[in-house]
Each structure stands twice: as C-alpha cells, then as structure tokens.
Structure 1
Amino acid sequence: MQQAEDFRAESRALAAILEDLPEAEFRRATQFKGWTIDHVLGHLHLFNAAAEAALQGDEAFAAFIAPVLRHMQAGKPILDCQFPWLNGLSGRALFEAWRLGAESCADAFAKADPKQRLKWIGPDMSALSSVTARQMETWAHGQEVFDLLGLERPEQDRIRNIAHLGVATYAWSFRNRGLAVPEPAPYVQLTGPSGAVWDWNAPQDREFVKGSAVEFAQVVTQVRSIADSGLQLSGETAASWMNIAQCFAGPPETPPGKGIRYKTEA
C-alpha cells in the first residue's frame, strides 16, 4: 500500500529536523494552541499506536483505546488524554519512541489489505483511509514544528493524499457545523511540488479552487489561513468552503486568522 510508504516518508521528514535537537528544545511552544514539540510527538505517537492496534482487530483496538476514551468522556482536553499513556515519556526519549512507533505503524499498514475495515474513535474506516489520516496528521502537526524552527519543509508529491482528503471532506466541513451542503462541489485543480496537475470534481467556470496543492493542504488542515494563501477562488461556494474547511475529525475548529500561523525566523 503506497499510502503506508507515504506516511513513513512524512514521519521521516519530521524526524530529520529533530534528530539533533537539544533536550530543552522539545519543551518549546508552537503556534498551535501553545502545544510544545513534546506535545506534538506524544499526540502523534499515541494515535499511531492506536491505528496499529486497530489493524490487529476490534478487541485489540477496544482494549487500547478504552483508557483514552475514559479521559475524553470525563471532559478532558485531547492533549491531557495522552499523558497517562505516555507515563512521563518526554524529550529525546519520546522522540525515539515516536520514531520507532511510526516505523512499526508503517510496516503494519504496508502489509494490510487497503479495504480492511478498522474501528476508530469516530466512524469505522478502511485501512487505506486510516494510514492516509496518519500521514495527514503527521504532516499537519509537523508544520507547526517546521514553523517553530524556522524551516521550510521539502515537499513531495505525496501531498496529493492530503489534498484528496481535503476534497473528500468537502461535505463534512459543512455538516460538522450544522450547515447545508452547497451543491455541486467546486472544481478543484491543484499543482503538486513536481509540477504535476491534479483535479477533482466536474470542471466548471463559476465555482472553483485552483493553485498550489501544498497551500490547499495547509488550508484544509488549518495550519494556514486562506487569507495567507495564494489559492485562486471563484464563486460563493468555493469561498465559503475554504473559510471553514476541516479535513480532520472532531468538533468544528475555527481556522487561524490572517498572519496567525507562519514560519518564524530561524
């Protein structure tokens, strides 16, 4: 399953910039809700392990996720739910655990049937969708780390998986907010890092989103404001969508305002 290798590559791209990071740097706060690099790695590590447990079957997943769900149902923020499982793991030790866990998760999904149905905290999903979500979350949370360290990520065409997820969650972005879904969905035409051009939905002149696949992925994962992108929008539906786009599960999140998320000076 190529998507498993794309997830592996995404994880390695993040690992590469943390390889020589001093211990104290893992406690630096990012622009994402004040999460530290430690918090980011803990979050990714927990849910990579959860996805791997889901591959092992319904019982394995239920046993793994039960303590996390208890904390969620008690009203604890998602960040607090990871601390008991991490059991004090932090800094370089957490980095090594996350890196090894990501490789193990990629290995497991590489051998899986893409159509296998997996239990999750939300609706069940296919193995292919699950590992694509792992790539998306690694890429999105990785962005805040690249931003904090003042680094530009070398993007690759595997970004197409995240762009596809962004398009596929068009209706979800509206329904999650209790809004009617405008039809038809806008035409989407994006250019990948290699110069490849990808498109989704029926071509039309009135409603469309065009531009960089990386910038589109940044908007639908809410790591950048649409106002800070160079995306070309046409039509009321396209504009409405890009202002609330959310390609990840959970309650509605307000996208960042203009200038809120950016690469800092190294």
Structure 2
Amino acid sequence: MSELPSVFDDLQDESRALESLVEKLEPERWALPTPAARWTVAHQIAHLAWTDRAALLAMTDPDAFAGEVEKALAAPESFVDDGAEEGAARPPGELLAGWRDGRARLDAALRAVAAEKRKFPWYGPPMSAASMATGRLMETWAHGQDVADALGVVREPTDRLRHIARIGVRARDFAFGVRGLQPPGAEFRVELRLPSGESWTLGPEDAEQRVTGGALDFCLLVTQRAHRDDLDVRAEGPDADRWLDIAQAFAGPPGQGRAPKKAGA
C-alpha cells in the first residue's frame, strides 16, 4: 500500500497539468483539430471525462456498468467515439467543469476501493484501484499530448512517466497477441532515463533482448504518439526490435500510430 498514494497523487498532478493547457482557452480553440483523426481538443477532454465516469460507475454500481459493457459490445467500432462526440458538443466551460468534478469523484472512489483492497469490473479483466489509476494516468498523459500538439505546446516531462513505461512493458505480450503474433517466451530488459536523470529499469539484468533510451521517447512510442524513427529508443535483439515496431500501452485493436517526421524515414 505504500506506493498507492503516489499513483493517485500522480494521476491528480497529471490531470491538473493538462487542465492548465485548456482552462483559459478561447472557445474557438477548443475546436482545433488534434493528431487523432476527427478529434478536436474538446473531443480529447470529453473522452477523458467519459472514461472517468465509466470507471466511477464500475466501482460504485457494477450492475449499471454491466449495461455499459453491453453497449460497448454492441457497437465496438463506435462507442468510444460516440462518448467523445456527446461530450464535445457541450460548451467548453460546461465540459471543463464536468471533467473537473468527475476527476474529484473518481479520486475519492479510487482511494476508498484501495483501502478496501477489492477489485471491480472493467471492459477487460477486473481492475484494482492502483491499476485503474495507472491506466487513467496513461490516458491523461497520452491525450494530453494530442492537446499539446494541437496547441503547439511543448510540455515539460516529469518522472510520472514511470507509470506509463510500466504499462508499456507489461503490455508487451498483448501487443504481439492482438496482431496474431506469438509473444516472445523470455522477458526483456528495459532501461530508461527518467526526466530527473534517474534510471528506471524492468526485467532481468542478463536478458538477451534489451530496450534502452529516454523514458519520454519510450512513452511516446508505446502510446503511439510519435513514430519510432523520430525517437531515442533502441533495441538489442530481433524480438525487442520487432516489439518496438508494434508496442502499445492501450487496450483494444492496434492503433494507426503517427507518421515519421524525419526526412526520408
């Protein structure tokens, strides 16, 4: 339990960092297109608010949440976009206030569930409070990158990236499986430099397959917010090299990723 408050606190800090980018935007700038096809800045915030509400419902009313899962199964290609579309149609001030209120409610619920040491249903396997908080942080950071790109803002990276890096590594086998590929049998060694200069590592020290680089670039890679050719992430070994081409930290089908920016890539 000693690390749990850090996860919840980091989620709140990541959310506030994104809020600082949009809270003073003129209404017309909420309609700016982001790198995600057909999604504006408003869609990005609406999606985060929608997912927060779903997580809160899963923890507080599992029966009602089961109905939401049925809706998702009935329209797997559109239910995420539909949720974002509905929220994005609201006035920016109303959307922002709703997102802010939902975050506060979710934070309280996560901490209560963590204290009870119980899991709750989700669209995939049941979740713990810590796992949900980590996933929400990853999504907040990733969609925040889309917003920052739309606004032409360069964000200051933080060591909160370690949470996203962990999800990215743990999702390795999923990234292979969702593409119909056999996951490698052995663990990889991942060694990353956090923005503070500290080292973050996961996996056996003597692993033959290795990935090294900066934590920011690794997180951009596994959230598919930048192309591998534009990032400082290196692989040693054919399996690790293949992984960097397909890595994803998010559930669902493979994403389209981003086109390379480097000339000739």
Shift of 1:71: 6.0
Measure, in 2, the Cα distance between the counterparts of 1:229 and 1:204: 25
**Larger CA deviation: 149-158 vs 212-221:** 149-158
What amino acid sits opposite 1:182 in the alignment?
Answer: P
Q: Which residue of 2 aligns with 1:23?
A: 27
Q: Which residue of 2 aligns with 1:52?
A: 56
- Relative contact order (alpha carbons < 8 A, sep ≥ 6): 1 or 2 greater? 1
Say which SS state the counterpart of residue 192 (structure 2) adopts: strand
2:108 is the alignment partner of 1:107: yes
Say which SS state the counterpart of residue 113 (structure 2) adopts: coil
The within-5 A match list for 1:8-157 is: 8-63=12-67, 65=68, 68-69=71-72, 72=75, 75-76=77-78, 78-84=80-86, 86=87, 88-113=89-114, 115-157=117-159
Say which SS state the counterpart of residue 178 (structure 1) adopts: coil
Q: Deviations over 1:169-201 (max 9, x none)?
A: 111110111100113232100111111111111
Measure, in 1, the Cα distance between the counterparts of 2:147 and 2:170: 26
In structure 2, stretches of 5+ residues that fail to align are none
The within-5 A match list for 1:215-254 is: 215-254=217-256
Paired residues of 2:46 and 2:83 also in contact (CA < 8 A): no
Q: Deviations over 1:80-119 (max 9, x none)?
A: 24445x4942422212211221222123213322742121
Change over 3 Å in CA distance of 1:245–1:66 after alignment to 2:
closer
Measure, in 1, the Cα distance between the counterparts of 2:62 and 2:33: 36
Change over 3 Å in CA distance of 1:207–1:106 after alignment to 2:
same
Measure, in 2, the Cα distance between the counterparts of 1:116 and 1:226: 38
Change over 3 Å in CA distance of 1:92–1:70 after alignment to 2:
farther
Q: Which residue of 2 aligns with 1:264?
A: none
Say which SS state the counterpart of residue 112 (structure 1) adopts: helix
**Larger CA deviation: 228-237 vs 112-121:** 112-121
**Larger CA deviation: 243-252 vs 201-210:** 201-210
**Equivalent of 2:197 in 170, 190, 195:** 195
Paired residues of 2:120 and 2:126 also in contact (CA < 8 A): yes
**Larger CA deviation: 236-245 vs 52-61:** 52-61
Q: Deviations over 1:225-261 (max 9, x none)?
A: 111101122111111101100111111223323129x
2:160 is the alignment partner of 1:167: no
Measure, in 1, the Cα distance between the counterparts of 2:181 and 2:73: 30
Measure, in 2, the Cα distance between the counterparts of 1:211 and 1:119: 35
Paired residues of 1:176 and 1:252 also in contact (CA < 8 A): yes
Measure, in 2, the Cα distance between the counterparts of 1:87 and 1:17: 17
Change over 3 Å in CA distance of 1:201–1:70 after alignment to 2:
closer
In structure 1, stretches of 5+ residues that fail to align are 261-266
Measure, in 2, the Cα distance between the counterparts of 1:67 and 1:203: 44
**Larger CA deviation: 152-161 vs 107-116:** 107-116
Change over 3 Å in CA distance of 1:34–1:204 after alignment to 2:
farther
Change over 3 Å in CA distance of 1:20–1:67 after alignment to 2:
farther
Say which SS state the counterpart of residue 200 (structure 2) adopts: strand
Measure, in 2, the Cα distance between the counterparts of 1:3 and 1:110: 10
**Equivalent of 1:183 in 176, 182, 185:** 185
TM-score, normalization: structure 1?
0.89
**Larger CA deviation: 216-225 vs 87-96:** 87-96
Measure, in 2, the Cα distance between the counterparts of 1:215 and 1:76: 30
Aligned residue pairs, count? 257
